[in-house]
Structure 1
């Protein structure tokens, strides 16, 4: 099976975009067409839940993100690439989400991030920094996220942002049974897991993790009946090319179209 969608693409509208001039819908769709993709999901950050106050970083990123994106798309001519208009939503803590069900209903998809633990002054932190404490925190966020009714797919699942160098130890502290219990909730709720470029260990001198660690997670997810989406989490145009790096994961997992939430 070949990868034909990228549901996790940020545009110039996201505050963390590394290429404000390059990450336009025109450029992204042109790159997608050139690489043979059938579907692109635009998933900019935003916060639209008055009951859960945003951080100062999130505050300017509101519903205008979607309006501006739709305006940009309306100005384009026809494209052979199907567009899914969505967002990357977030959690401040279990049960505290950046968007409401009403807002989610107006989107084509919602990617829900359940592991932005690098936002230490905003996102609820683990009880301590031990691998087991971080792992338990990941599980609590994940289960709350999949039960929220908001998510199409969980963005970079079980990938503790800012602490990925310890991924082997963190996920290694969870038994197969513990992971399967959490993944079973996602399967029951029909919430997909994103197979992210973030699962690919970085080359170089910095500490990294083994590819076998995300493969273990994804194998258990598949066995549990979970479906999947693919995402580069691209913040610049060159990152769009990294999608092909996920093909070895697809092959080792033996995925078919029936395993996907998006086609």
Structure 2
């Protein structure tokens, strides 16, 4: 008789692959939710319900997830999972794969503390599985209320949670670390949407424009140049704010003087983000080339809001390779200690 698989692991793997494929959120939640519900059952009840055909009597378990559990308990790879695995491969050219392997971590990721879909520990463990040495946790700042941005009090609380998780990783002998951070809103006057005291305590700060994206070019330029001069900002996130596809529709690029913005990044030794989200892929390649020629550093990030999205780094790597960005200009090819030293040099 085949040995039973771990049905909860199979459900979570399905959710991960759906996230990586940028599938609808409700589909992901169906599998993650079912795994959570079934994980709370007393010993023996999962197998008993699978045998009796009563799994779907549990709230949050549907016909598809129940079928996956039954197949898994029978020692079979669930058909749903097998189909996803067969189409999940990413054909990367040698240069893109080499750059991907050079990355030590991801400097832009969200958890369910703001608008992400998973707890911090789940995001961290997914990063560990990808071979990352670190993950910078960058939940949103307070004024982005639509994304449940963190008040100073909540961010302070989050710092304690991260410290506890890192102590747990160290206790397990893992070299992996969650680095503290924030995706802080760049406000209309170029100031940053969090207290200087808290920003100074964070490991890495990503600053992004999320409002008034249709400002006149001179206004937007002044806004970003001012932010880049702020000693607490390390990385300029998704600089044009564009959306090229996806459920939120499309959005044109913000207009600004790219030469002036990128020159400010070089002057203050800040990094320009190469955002790997499929609906962003920001900056466009023409601006990425301008930033490269200006002498900018870069950070290839996923802007992940779910564990499976942490596997989007190849998108950014492919764009960096296409534009000739060398690995030594990419800050997340640095070991954690060197990344932290670079960020600390701005303060």
- Structure 1-normalised TM-score? 0.73
Q: How far apart are residue 163 of structure 1 and its match?
A: 8.2
* Cα displacement string for residues 6-39 of structure 1 (whole angstroms, at most 9, x for unaligned residues): 111111111x22x2xxx22322222112212222
Query: After superposition, where does 1:70-109 map in structure 2 within 5 Å?
Result: 70-75=160-165, 76-78=168-170, 79-109=174-204
Number of the residue aligned with 2:112:
12
* Cα displacement string for residues 127-179 of structure 1 (whole angstroms, at most 9, x for unaligned residues): 5xxxxx3x444323211211222211011112247785323xx55xx6xxx42
Distance in 2, Cα, partners of 1:194 & 1:39? 17
Number of the residue aligned with 1:158:
240
Larger Rg: 2
Aligned residues of 2:184 and 2:207 also touching (Cα < 8 A): yes
* Cα displacement string for residues 209-244 of structure 1 (whole angstroms, at most 9, x for unaligned residues): xx7971111111111111111221111222222222
Distance in 1, Cα, partners of 2:227 & 2:218? 14
Q: How far apart are residue 254 of structure 1 and its match?
A: 2.7
Number of the residue aligned with 2:305:
235
1:225 paired with 2:225, answer no
Distance in 1, Cα, partners of 2:107 & 2:150? 23
Count matched residues. Answer: 223
* Cα displacement string for residues 73-107 of structure 1 (whole angstroms, at most 9, x for unaligned residues): 41423233232111111122123321233322111
* Cα displacement string for residues 174-198 of structure 1 (whole angstroms, at most 9, x for unaligned residues): 6xxx422221011101111111024
Aligned residue among 145, 148, 158 for 2:230: 148
Number of the residue aligned with 1:194:
273
Distance in 1, Cα, partners of 2:201 & 2:288? 30
Aligned residues of 1:138 and 1:160 also touching (Cα < 8 A): no
Distance in 2, Cα, partners of 1:74 & 1:243? 27
Higher RCO, Cα 8 Å, sep 6+: 1
1:62 paired with 2:152, answer yes
1:93 counterpart SS class: coil
The unaligned stretches of length 5 or more in structure 2 are: 1-98, 335-347
Distance in 2, Cα, partners of 1:215 & 1:31? 29
2:139 counterpart SS class: strand
Aligned residues of 2:187 and 2:223 also touching (Cα < 8 A): no
Distance in 2, Cα, partners of 1:24 & 1:73? 15
Q: 1:258 to 1:126 in 2, by over 3 A?
A: same
Number of the residue aligned with 1:116:
210
Question: Whose strand proportion is higher, 1 or 2?
Answer: 1
2:131 counterpart SS class: coil
Aligned residues of 2:181 and 2:204 also touching (Cα < 8 A): yes
Q: 1:27 to 1:147 in 2, by over 3 A?
A: same
Moved beyond 6 Å, runs of 4+: none
- Structure 2-normalised TM-score? 0.57
Question: Whose helix proportion is higher, 1 or 2?
Answer: 2
1:181 counterpart SS class: helix
RMSD: 2.8
Aligned residues of 1:138 and 1:158 also touching (Cα < 8 A): no
Q: 1:157 to 1:34 in 2, by over 3 A?
A: same
